[in-house]
Every structure is written in C-alpha cells, then in structure tokens.
C-alpha cells in the first residue's frame, strides 16, 4: 500500500482566489468577452477554464478593443499600463494581489525618503516588471547575494529593500544579509512580511519532506512559488518533481517509494491535486492523509470597480 501525504496548506491562496473571482464576476455581469492582460495567474488549467467562459488573454494593452472591460492580472502592472488604459477610457478591474500592492506602496515610501531602493526578485517575472514600473526613480534589481556585491551604490548610502512576494524565504534572508554586510544603513520589511501563502507553503513542504520518500508539486513551470517548492524538496534530499496535473505523472518516479508527499503551488486548483492522486491510484493501491498544518482563512475584498460595471441585462434594456 502506497501512502499519499498531502501538505497543509496547499494550492490556491487568497490573492489567486480573488483574481479568478474578479474575472468570473466580470463575465457574469457584462458577458463575454472580458479581456485580461497577461495570464490572470500562472496556471494553464485556470487560464483555459476562464477562456472557455469568454475571457480573452492578451499580452499588450494595444490588443484590447476600445471600450472592452479589461482586467489586470494578479501580478500587477506598471503605471504606464494604468495610464495607457485610462487615456483610452477602458473600464479596468485591477486584480493585483493586495500583498503585491503593499510592496509597491513600501517601495514608493522608501524612494520618497531619499533612500536607494533595491528590489529582491527574478528579472523578467511579471510581478517584478510591474513593481519596477510602479516606482518612480531608480530601482536596483538583485536576485542573488553575488549581485548585491556588484551594486553600483556607495557603501555609506541609505539603502532600503523590497521583495517579490513569491520568493523563497531562505534565499531572501541570504540577500538581505548580504545587503546588511555591505551597507551601513539598511532598512526593509522583515522576512515575515513576505507573502503569507509563500511562507506557509514552503514550511508545509519542509514538514512533508520529513516524512515522504518523494515530493510531487502540482503547478506550472511558469510559477515562481511552485518551482521553489520543488527546489526545497531537492534541498532536503528528496526526489522532487513539478507537474501540471496527473497526466504528467511518470510511473518510474514511484519505483521503490512507500510515501509520496504531494502539494500544490498557490495558483494550482485542488482538482489538479486530485488528478495526481487518481493517477497514482491507477498504478498502486493508496491511502491518503493530510498533514496537520495552518488553516488559511484570509480573504481579500473585491475591487469596487466590479460594482460599477454595467450589467448585461441593464445594457440590453
């Protein structure tokens, strides 16, 4: 009998739930199509489900027709995008995660105080692109302690940092330590201020790997937080794999395994976790158990702009 241990918590976080709900409610209210700039979250199944309901995903604002309801993704956008949408009079619903918005506010506060701002994050990630574009003035992007050493900043300069919300807490600590070692005056949020969902899922994976022979992470290869969960498993010496759903399970991964640890990134729905369990059960008799862990109850309010959308019934009248 093979045991499947489920991490707690796993899967959708409050920011992802809010973003998907925004698109769903916009579609319900105004009808299809509703245009979404970039993937609403990094999960193919979520995107395809919303596309089937009438969401249209575009890469650039120029791809949105005049007058079309437009949703900004959970990762956030640059101010230039916001201004371009306003200039065209597009009805915009901003699905940026409130915790990402909090990072934007912190960054602007540090710049107003005249401090050199460092953003800890991965170059090219949509959240990082949006954050860089939300802050007026120079922002230095670093992703490793080595990049801290190369910063073109005087050692006596007042430095503040902000972080991408989906980073590994341990990696962030190392970069913050490198900043404090190089600069005399460093301020920034505590690592406890990194996204609660990121921290909770990483801690749960460590608990999972203490008992499992193998780690499976359900999530997209585009998802920074999902990739990091797999990396934590590897760091703990466990074979670790990232898969979109049960169809990607390789039976060879299960050879010699008695206990499978299973979790999901913050943008992966529970139905995909269940598809992996079903794929394992098709190969071996299984028992399923959920580890004790944090029960997440946080909910984010929906943006008021949703209420201002004209309903299709009213429009038809």
Contact of 218 with 262, CB cutoff 8 Å: yes
Give yes or no: residues 173 and 130 share one domain.
yes
CB of 17 within 8 A of CB of 302? no
Position 295 in a domain: no
pLDDT 10s digits, 260-273: 999 999 999 999 99
pLDDT average, residue stretch 270-280: 98
Tokens 């498993």 — which residue?
233
Q: pLDDT (tens digit, 9 = 90+) per residue, 286-296?
A: 999 999 999 99
**With bands split at pLDDT 50, 70 and 90, how would you rate the model's confidence at 313?**
low
Name, in order, each residue with C-beta under 8 angstroms of 35's C-beta and a sequence gap of 6 or more.
55, 56, 57, 58, 63, 64, 65, 68, 69, 70, 71
Q: Is 60 a catalytic residue?
A: no
pLDDT of residue 259: 98
Positions of E strands within 55-154: 55-58, 70-72, 92-94, 116-120, 139-142
pLDDT at 194: 75
> Is the confidence at residue 315, as pLDDT, over 60?
no
| Domain-embedded: residue 270 | yes
71 with 95: CB under 8 angstroms?
yes
End-of-domain residue from the set 162, 193, 224: 193
> Is residue 168's pLDDT more than 90?
no
pLDDT at 316: 42
Nearest to 101 by CA among 165, 16, 155: 165
- Tell me which residue has tokens 């802050």: 135
Structure tokens at 265: 């990134």
Same domain, 84 and 70: yes
Does some domain include residue 110?
yes
The CATH number covering residue 171 comes to: 3.40.1010.20
Span 125-131, mean pLDDT?
A: 96
- pLDDT at position 120 over 90: yes
For residue 33, say if its preceding peptide bond is cis, omega within 30 degrees of 0.
yes
The reported pTM is: 0.93
Domain that holds residue 285: 2-12+196-290
Is residue 47 in a domain?
yes
Residues 262 and 229 in one domain: yes
In a domain, 106, yes or no: yes
Question: Are residues 168 and 103 located together in one domain of the fold?
Answer: yes
Query: Which pair of structure tokens corresponds to residue 45?
Result: 């199944």
Distance set, CA 50 to CA 65, 71, 209, 284, 287 (Å): 19, 12, 34, 34, 33
Question: Would you state the pLDDT for residue 14?
Answer: 96
Candidates 127, 146, 289, 295; catalytic one: 127
Q: What is the pLDDT of residues 223-265, one digit of tens each?
A: 989 999 999 999 999 999 999 999 999 999 999 999 999 999 9
pLDDT over 70, % of the chain? 98
Residue 118: inside a domain = yes
Q: Is the pLDDT of residue 145 over 50?
A: yes
Residue at token pair 């995660």: 97
Cα–Cα dist 220/248, whole Å: 12
Closest to 77 (Cα-Cα) out of 130, 19, 39 = 130
Shared domain for 103 and 187, answered yes or no, is yes
Domain count within the chain: 3
49 within some domain: yes
When pLDDT is cut at 50, 70 and 90, the band that residue 314 belongs to is very low
On whether both 6 and 84 belong to a single domain, the answer is no
pLDDT at 274 over 60: yes
Q: Are residues 87 and 109 in the same domain?
A: no
The model's pLDDT over 5-35, given as tens digits with 9 standing for 90+, comes to 999 999 999 999 999 999 999 999 999 999 9
> CB-based burial of residue 232 (10 Å sphere; 0-12 exposed, 13-18 middle, 19+ buried)?
buried
């Amino acid at each position: 009998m093979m045991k499947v241990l489920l991490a707690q918590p796993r899967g959708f976080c409050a920011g992802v739930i809010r973003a998907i709900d925004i698109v769903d409610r916009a579609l319900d209210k105004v009808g299809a199509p509703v245009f979404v700039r970039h993937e609403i979250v990094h999960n193919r199944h979520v995107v395809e489900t919303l596309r089937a309901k009438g969401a249209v995903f575009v890469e650039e604002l120029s791809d949105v027709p005049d007058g079309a309801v437009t949703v900004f993704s959970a990762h956030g956008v640059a101010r230039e995008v916001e201004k371009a949408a306003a200039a065209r009079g597009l009805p915009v619903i901003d699905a940026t995660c409130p915790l990402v918005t909090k990072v934007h506010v912190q960054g602007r506060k540090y710049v107003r105080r005249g401090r050199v701002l460092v953003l800890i994050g991965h170059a090219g990630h949509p959240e990082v692109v949006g954050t860089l574009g939300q802050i007026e003035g120079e922002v230095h992007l670093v992703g490793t302690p080595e990049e801290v050493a190369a910063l073109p900043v005087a050692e006596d300069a007042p430095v503040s940092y902000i972080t991408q919300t989906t980073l590994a807490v341990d990696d962030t600590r190392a970069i913050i330590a490198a900043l404090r070692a190089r600069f005399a005056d460093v301020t920034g949020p505590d690592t406890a201020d990194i996204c609660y969902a990121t921290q909770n899922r990483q801690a749960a994976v460590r608990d999972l790997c203490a008992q499992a022979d193998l780690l499976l992470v359900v999530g997209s290869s585009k998802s920074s937080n999902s990739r990091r969960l797999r990396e934590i498993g590897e760091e703990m010496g466990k074979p670790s794999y990232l898969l979109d759903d049960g169809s990607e399970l390789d039976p060879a991964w299960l050879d010699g395994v008695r206990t499978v640890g299973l979790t999901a990134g913050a943008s992966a729905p529970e139905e995909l976790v269940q598809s992996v369990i079903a794929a394992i059960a098709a190969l071996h008799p299984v028992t399923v158990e959920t580890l004790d862990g944090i029960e997440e109850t946080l909910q984010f309010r929906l943006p008021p702009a949703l209420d201002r959308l004209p309903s299709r019934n009213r429009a038809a009248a």
